Amino acid sequence: MTTPSMFMLEIFLCLVGAHILAACGNGQTAITQAQKQQIDQLARFADSLQPQASWNFDFEKLPAGQTPIGWTPYFTGEGNTDWKISRDNENQVLAQLYSDNPGSHFNIIVNDSISAKDLKLSIKLKGVGGKHDQGGGLVWRFIDKNNHYIVRANPLEDNVVLYKMEKGKRIDLPLVGLGKTYGMQTEPLGKAWNTLSLTVKGEWFTVFLNGKELFKVQDQTFSDPGKVGFWTKADAVTYFDDFEVGKFE
């Protein structure tokens, strides 16, 4: 049992170690400014380095009402998934439309021809429906529906969270310098378009929302090249557009 004096001692040790912040419960280590600069350098592609290959998808010239050729949908859990090219006023998008899934269900669609390890990804997304869940995000280093990385923006929770899906189990990953926070809170995401972007370099992942860096994650679980695509949860109906992929070697 923790006595009052032990409790005070724990608080004191946490305060003393604040600049190194050895844990205080989350098992993570806060970083100094110098360490942050080093990590920024490791996680960043040099400005002079151009992608080996790049792709842009605006979904404009594809037949509406059909799953685009060259993309494969998946889902986990009970229910179904329904990815189709859809109209959004004068614009065409790729939408996840199936709206009767339980909370423990994930929808995925990946591009069949792109395989990359290090890359830059950017997607515009808009949450248009969902009671259990809304919004969605990106998958990368996709091996199969049970093994990949995910980052998603949720307008019901107004947060952005990065996960690994390993052997069918989804786990949120700690943020560099902040620890296990379940991602980061954001400004209200609402029903507007938001742009979620990501830089993936080795074991470093940097996440941006509407052009502003939110956080970094370091993880080594999946280090091989994999496919890229989109992700939603449960009954979320979400539109995706203007997908940009840059692949680095």
Give the binding site for Ca ion (CB under 5 A). Answer: 58-59, 91-92, 241
Residue closer to Ca ion (CB basis): 89 or 220: 89
Residue closer to Ca ion (CB basis): 197 or 206: 197
Residue closer to Ca ion (CB basis): 45 or 55: 55
207 near 214, Cβ under 8 Å? yes
In sequence order, which residues have a C-beta less than 8 Å from that of residue 83 and are 6 or more positions away?
67, 71, 73, 94, 95, 96, 97, 107, 109, 230
CB of 92 to Ca ion, least distance (A): 5
Residue closer to Ca ion (CB basis): 92 or 238: 92
CB of 88 to Ca ion, least distance (A): 8
243 near 123, Cβ under 8 Å? yes
Residue closer to Ca ion (CB basis): 91 or 221: 91
CB of 90 to Ca ion, least distance (A): 9
Q: Which residues are paired to 196 by β-bridges?
A: 123, 209
CB of 237 to Ca ion, least distance (A): 17
CA distances from 215 to 129, 136, 140, 192, 205 (A): 27, 17, 17, 22, 8
H or E stretch covering 153: strand 147-154
Q: CB count, 10 Å around CB of 63?
A: 11
CB of 224 to Ca ion, least distance (A): 31
Q: What are phi and psi of 73, to 5 degrees?
A: -85, 150
CB of 59 to Ca ion, least distance (A): 5
State how far Cα 19 lies from the chain centre: 29
239 near 88, Cβ under 8 Å? yes
Residue closer to Ca ion (CB basis): 88 or 158: 88
